[in-house]
């Protein structure tokens, strides 16, 4: 009896102990199962790292993309890589002759001072210049600015890979400031891709490539600030161009280099820096170069029609201000049109009877309101085209017919 009583008293403790053991076993089994599941999942998560040590490990593409950072370049890098090898440096040399002051050749001077007093000045001097250009044909045809190679006796072209080759000026057009140079012995050279400047919009990216200040292979970035900026407005009245204006840095030495869009296509030829301006440069639209580059490459002269007048845009407000000035040399019609400021002698305009102070208001029955508009009409006409003009002279309106002639010099 006593022993049975003791067993009965110990049973609750035994049951409690059994329950604790069961809980421990269940927990242990749960941990084991969880560990097995984790081990099955972890290899796929770690496989991108293991892939670098084990070449035979197959790794899902998605996992690699998540683990490896994107180290690709910008669109500027891509554009420059596409065109950069086709951009060249152009070094020029030309000889100029110096005129000695006639005073030093005076016999009286020589008599009193002798030949030893004659200044030892060189009669000739070699001038060196530098600019940029870009290859547009694998045979070595290079497009650049006319002022880069103007009157050059020697042209040296340096490629991006360091090769230096002799160049020959094939053709020059001063009016559009364009020139073509041919590399001697060039073959299978890198070529720049030409874009469409008519598709360019204000705000588009603009990438200038060239050799400014002698610093080869320089790239600057900006945007297209405006379009159709006339050469007269830029301060180059002897040219006939509507520039692409950009804030991409353009410096001396950039002239002749390409202006690229974000796809790496040439949309312009860097050509001008506005004196005194900060962060403004100008490029010739590539479509203008496309029109005449073949002619220049063949050594042919590019002809430009002209009238023979100096002109400015006229508005009623400007005319009223002029006419109210007691010191004004002449009274002008208070109309919208183009004011003739000067008529050059022996020109088509002079022969047709145009006079200073005339206001041209129509050409071929189409209204003309700006000097740039008239310039474009003339430039786009052919030599010998008869332009019928409606002219306001004082209070009189008359019709004049002007036959375009050939412009002989940019001046």
Q: Is 177 a catalytic residue?
A: yes
Exposure class string for 282-301: b at 16+ Cβ within 10 A, else e: bbbbbbbbeebbebbbeeee
The residue count for the chain: 411
Torsion of CA 249, 255, 261, 263, to 10 degrees: -120
Phi, psi dihedral angles at 108 (to 5 degrees): -60, -40
Catalytic residue among 231, 255, 293, 304: 255
CA distance 227 to 242: 7
In whole angstroms, how large is the CA radius of gyration of the chain? 39
Pairing mode of beta strands 178-183, 205-210: unpaired
Catalytic residue among 91, 132, 147, 358: 147
CA distance 167 to 131: 13
Catalytic residue among 91, 173, 177, 242: 177
Q: Is 304 a catalytic residue?
A: no
Task: Answer for the pair 274, 290: CB distance below 8 angstroms, yes or no.
Answer: no
Task: Answer for the pair 177, 147: CB distance below 8 angstroms, yes or no.
Answer: yes
Q: Is 137 a catalytic residue?
A: no
Chain-centre distance of CA 235, in angstroms?
19
- Give the ranges where 164-253 is alpha helix by DSSP (H): 231-234
CA distance 240 to 64: 57
Which residues form the catalytic set? 147, 177, 255
């Amino acid at each position: 009896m006593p022993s049975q009583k003791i067993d009965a008293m110990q049973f609750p403790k035994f049951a409690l102990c059994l329950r604790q053991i069961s809980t421990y076993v269940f927990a242990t089994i749960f941990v084991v199962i969880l560990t097995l599941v984790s081990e099955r999942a972890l290899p796929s998560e770690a496989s991108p790292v293991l892939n670098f040590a084990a070449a035979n490990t197959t790794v899902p593409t998605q996992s690699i993309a998540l683990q490896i950072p994107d180290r690709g370049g910008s669109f500027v890098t891509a554009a420059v890589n596409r065109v950069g090898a086709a951009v060249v440096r152009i070094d020029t040399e030309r000889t100029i002759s110096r005129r000695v002051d006639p005073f030093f050749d005076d016999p009286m001077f020589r008599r009193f001072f002798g030949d030893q007093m004659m200044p030892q000045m060189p009669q000739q001097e070699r001038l060196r210049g530098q600019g940029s250009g870009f290859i547009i044909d694998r045979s070595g045809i290079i497009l650049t600015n006319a002022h880069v190679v103007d009157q050059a006796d020697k042209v040296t072209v340096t490629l991006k890979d360091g090769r230096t080759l002799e160049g020959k000026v094939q053709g020059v057009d001063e009016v559009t400031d364009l020139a073509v140079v041919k590399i001697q012995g060039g073959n299978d050279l890198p070529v720049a891709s030409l874009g469409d400047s008519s598709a360019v919009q204000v705000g588009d990216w603009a990438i200038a490539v060239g050799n400014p200040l002698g610093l080869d292979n320089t790239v600057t970035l900006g945007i297209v600030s405006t379009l159709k900026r006339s050469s007269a407005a830029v301060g180059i009245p002897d040219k006939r161009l509507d520039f692409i204006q950009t804030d991409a840095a353009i410096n001396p030495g950039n002239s002749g280099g390409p202006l690229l869009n974000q796809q790496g296509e040439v949309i312009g030829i860097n050509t001008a820096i506005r004196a005194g301006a900060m962060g403004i440069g100008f490029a010739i639209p590539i479509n203008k170069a496309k029109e005449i580059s073949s002619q220049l490459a063949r050594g042919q002269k590019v002809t430009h029609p002209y009238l023979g007048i100096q002109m400015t845009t006229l508005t009623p407000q400007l005319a009223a201000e002029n006419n109210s000035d007691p010191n004004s040399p002449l009274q002008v019609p208070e109309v919208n049109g183009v004011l003739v400021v000067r008529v050059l002698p022996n020109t088509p305009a002079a022969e047709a009877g145009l006079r200073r102070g005339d206001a041209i208001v129509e050409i071929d029955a189409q209204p003309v309101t700006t000097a740039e508009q008239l310039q474009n009409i003339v430039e786009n006409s052919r030599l010998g085209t008869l332009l019928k003009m409606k002219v306001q002279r004082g209070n009189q309106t008359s019709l004049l017919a002007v036959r375009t002639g050939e412009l002989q010099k940019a001046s």
